Structure 1
Amino acid sequence: MRPNLITVFGGTGFLGRATVHELLNAGHPVRIASRRPGLPASLQHHARLEHCRADIRDDADVARAVEGASGVVNAVSLYVEQRDLRFTTIHVEGAARLARAAHKAGLERVIQISGIGADSRSPSPYIRARAEGEAAVLREYPNAVIVRPSVLFGPGDAFVRNLAGLAPLPVIPLFGFGSTRLQPVHVTDIARAIARLCADEPPTQHTFELGGPDILTYRQILTLVLSHLGRKRPMLPVPFTVWHALATLGSLLPNPPLTRDQLYLMQRDNVASATLGTFHDLGITPHSLVESLPDCLSTS
């Protein structure tokens, strides 16, 4: 086993790339495990970084990817199902396969990235799979750490960029009355938290819900983005029943702009629990959305 080597599944994604950077900054050698044949340009030519082509659906690939590592981070995520990629396949079976391989290989640490709001009783297949994936990981590796971020933002994100994309519209449609409460969290802060959890003496908590310093309604967040862009637009409440109908029609498209799973997430507050592990437990002060908007929207 290589001391401090961390394998990051999904290390080429939005959160995965940030996590790799923070792990490298913390002094860890890192192995990225992904289905893609190469590394992002920002991660190439680093002396302590290696790449392993691996599919989380394949036992041999997963075993090879964790071999010799001291810890593994599962940042693989699927937001829209495709013919050969299903939520259960990735978030439940794949997560369990990774935890099982980590246990067999004697890894010291397993970190499973989930999300606030994961619920096995949800009508959303995505939200159910997230919760079932947590349970599957803990069955295979009882000491695994579960990290549930709130909605992520940061340079190149989808959340703030999509809100900014609404600015040219003469009227901005809201999800319901726009009253759902969110706790947006910077992707770098989540990555820093993961790096802290990979330290020699991590905190004793095994479940963390991590949100930013501010709890805002969707309407307030949209207002902040529009204000930053120098736009002022009227906002129109649209019932969730209408959104669900539109999302059902959109599901016929190859790349739907909105899914029912996203709507189910938007119908419930997405706020971190104070009874679970927090940024404070990790010694991290998270960035606020307001102070981060210039970086997030610099290319918008």
Structure 2
Amino acid sequence: MTEFLLVGLGFISSGVAEHLSRRHNVTITYRSLNPVKSKYVQKLVGKANVLRADPLELAPLVEKSDVVVNFVGEVSGEESSLRIANVEVPRTLARMTRGKTFVHLSGATLGQTERVVREEETHGVGLSPSTSFERTKLEGESEVLRENPNSVVLRPTLVYGTNSAHIQFVTMYKLVKRGLVPRLSISYMPVSVTYIGRAIEIIAESRPQRSYMYATECEPVSINDFFSAFASGLNVKYFSLPFPTEVAKIFLPREIRSLLRYSGVRFSCESMRRLVGDLRFRSEELEENARFLRQLDAEGILIPT
């Protein structure tokens, strides 16, 4: 049985905690709560130890742990806040966890220019980050790999699961609920939080050194299939209206617009498949996710988180 410390409470980390808690001891930390994160805490009662702690002041908890996993990160905001979350926190944790296995969740979108993307032979070579998010994420990876020889960087693509309240899925829920959904020529490489949990568990056992890999399933999925799964989960019908992508950009949230240039990009699943094996698209998790969002909506706490 392994002692896991998960830093940062959210949809992905809570899903990973649920998976790991079946066979291991799990502690997960948070800095602050909102109503959605409080739901995640409730779901972890009896499964994981949930503690309030600053991510930069975790030395006592790190000392008691075998594996530390960092989920702290920001997608948008001022460059200064992005640097703290995406560079300074992972650097500090990597330094703090020397001698232990450290897993850092980064992001798949790092300024790739090719339409078929594999892990670069030398870290960062060939990548051209163009946004503050991409630059800070890549720099954070470099700091992690430099500071801790027992570090692994996971680069998840579009993460989905049963309890997501990320802005992309809240937007999908609202459109399906209204019954009018744009039919878009957009597809992404997804990855279930279930597979991320499995990957982290296997990494803890194998202890690879200074490695980085894309965490993704093997086939791109149309955004229209996401809408369909949500409608199935809510047991509703909707009208689908063809919509040019350029027009859709005007109405989509900023966090989604920034990802459009990665539509159709294929990220290599070879490393993930070697770890996890089967990587089928789990549409049933999206159906459950739609019901989770409906519950939040009914309680008046449908807050993108």
Q: Same fold (TM over 0.5)?
A: yes
- CA offset at residue 151 of structure 1? 0.7
1:163 corresponds, among 166, 172, 180, to 172
Give CA-to-partner distance per residue, 1:111-153, whole Å, 9 cap, x none. 0101212246333211222111111111111331111111111
Which one has a larger percent helix, Structure 1 or Structure 2?
2
1:6-45: CA deviations, max 9, x gaps?
11101x210111111222112x222222213888112224
Matches within 5 A, 1:169-188: 172-173=181-182, 178-188=184-194
Does the CA contact (< 8 Å) of 1:22 and 1:192 recur in 2?
A: yes
Q: Which residue of 2 is the match for residue 252 of structure 1?
A: none
What is the number of residues matched between the two proteins? 268
Q: Which has the higher contact order (CA 8 A, sep 6+)?
A: 2
Name stretches of at least 5 consecutive residues in structure 1 with no aligned partner: 248-257
**TM-score (ref. length: structure 1):** 0.76
Deviation per residue, 1:150-172 (Å, 9 max, x gap):
11112232344421311355764
User: Identity over aligned residues, as a percent?
Assistant: 22
Q: Where do residues 1-300 of structure 1 align in structure 2 (5 Å cutoff)?
A: 4-10=2-8, 12-26=9-23, 28-36=24-32, 40-46=41-47, 49-56=48-55, 58=56, 61-81=57-77, 86-103=81-98, 106-107=99-100, 109-119=101-111, 121-157=128-164, 158=166, 159-167=168-176, 172-173=181-182, 178-199=184-205, 201-202=206-207, 206-222=211-227, 225=230, 229-239=236-246, 243=250, 258-259=253-254, 261-269=255-263, 271-274=266-269, 277-278=271-272, 280-299=273-292, 300=294
**SS across alignment from 1:118:** coil
CA distance in 1, matches of 2:95, 2:68: 12
Relative to structure 1, the CA distance from residue 193 to residue 286 in structure 2 (aligned partners, 3 Å threshold; closer, same or farther) is same
CA shift in 2, pair 1:21/1:295, >3 Å: same
Tell me by how many angstroms 1:208 deviates.
Answer: 2.5
Following superposition, the deviation at residue 52 of structure 1 comes to 4.0
Alignment RMSD: 3.1
Contact kept, 8 Å, 1:173 with 1:235, in 2: the verdict is yes
| 1:215/1:72 CA distance change after superposition, 3 Å | same
